[in-house]
Amino acid sequence: MVVYSHYSRDARVRRYAEALAEKNIIVDILCLKENYHPKESNIKLFYYPLPRRRYGKMWNIFEYIIFLIYSTLFLSLIYFFKRYKVIHVHNMPEFLVFSGVLPKIFGAKIILDMHDPMPELYMSKYHTPENSLMVKWLKWLEGLSLKFADHILTANEEFKKIFLSRHKIEADKISVILNCPDPKIFNPPASPAGRQPTTHNPQQFTLLYMGTVEKRFGLDVAVEAMPDLIKKIPHIRFIIIPKLENEGEYFKNLKIKIQSAPPAGGWRTKLKNYIQFLSPLPLEKIADQLRKTDVGIVLAQNGVFTESIFPVKLLEFIQMKIPVIASKTKSLVKYFDSSSIYYLKNNTSEDFTKAVIDLWKSVRLRKKLTINSLKYFNLHNWKVERRKYYNILKI
């Protein structure tokens, strides 16, 4: 596998690798360097020596190209010792699939896993119109990458529709493997759904956001709501677990905004004492943190990318019996109605404040949301999705 992320934190990559390890298949993974060692003896991590940074658009492109060169050289060399049967490449970026060119020539099959559509992400992140030269180039490069792969995986039906709508590809070349949490890691507590705030800490009511800290994920809404929430729920805490240690300019500005906010309106202490940024964590430690959480936060600004995504973190909250406050998107409402998720009406700090207070006050509401949302896993779960992956690989 080739992936430009940290293995310990990438749930999609880990599920595949650990599912293969259960079948006694040897899995080598080229990924970003970290202090983590898989417990499975047949999973081996090969570390890319350079760290990942978020310094802006041109820097991201430069990083992608350097990693492509490194991974191409790495695979071309190691293939003659390992003779891999399958090279499974994960986007972003999708053009990493070309790192498998030499193994493909010698008979290896290439799987391209499209976690997200890159043109839509680019438009959302940089507020670029669809007819811009860069977006057209990204779509062209996406088409080349999809055609080069022997098989394509993607994370939901919306993504599959996007790819088929703009590229001449047979529909059966693309398989959807949903982002269902692995219950081995995300093992829900035995206590009833809809726990009371005092269950794990009588001094705290804990909100949690985990994932990429970028403007398109709307954390401003939650942060701006905190002063009002502190007045009404003095023991509230908001935990943020970023995907990367150096998330970029938005992340830095958000931290500065929180650090510099003065006491006002009867606050006992500064805002920074109520909002805690943790370092990026491996999945096992994220699961531990979820066991201390009362409400999960999944926000998004309106946009061509955020409307189509189906966040894996949302399902991890649900798996762990945590009620969720979310922005209403086209993808989410296909699977969850308002009896399963507390949707914000207008994506404002006022709406967010009301949602948190409603959930804080009502154990019954929290129970209803968690019980109803868990029904999703009756049809969609990792056991079902893992079988799809096994069938694609014919194992």
- C-alpha 175/C-alpha 156 separation (Å) is 9
Distance CA 157, CA 232 (A): 41
3-state secondary structure of 146: helix
Residue 78 phi, psi dihedral angles, 5° rounding: -70, -25
Please tell me the least confidently modeled range out of 47-61, 169-183, 365-379. Answer: 47-61
Instruction: Tell me the backbone φ, ψ of residue 6, rounded to 5 degrees.
Output: -90, 125
Structure confidence at residue 201 (pLDDT): 58
- Which of helix, strand or coil describes residue 300? coil
- The pLDDT value given to residue 313: 95
Residues 127-147 have pLDDT tens digits of 899 999 999 999 999 999 999
Equal fold, 7-180+381-393 vs 205-378: yes
CATH number 3.40.50.2000 given to 7-180+381-393: yes
Confidence label for 262 from pLDDT (cuts 50, 70 and 90): low
- Cα dihedral value 174, 178, 184, 187, nearest 10: 180
List the chain domain ranges: 7-180+381-393, 205-378
Token representation of residue 106: 């010698």
Question: How would residue 202 be classed by pLDDT, with cut points 50, 70 and 90?
Answer: low
Burial class (CB in 10 A: 0-12, 13-18, 19+), 240: buried
3 state SS of 223? helix
* Contact predicate 374/318, CB 8 Å: yes
pLDDT, one tens digit per residue, over 220-240 is: 999 999 999 999 998 999 999
Answer with the residue of higher pLDDT: 135 or 218.
135
Distance between CA 71 and CA 78 in Å, rounded? Answer: 10
Say how far apart CA 170 and CA 44 lie, in whole Å. Answer: 34
205-378 CATH fold: Rossmann fold (3.40.50)
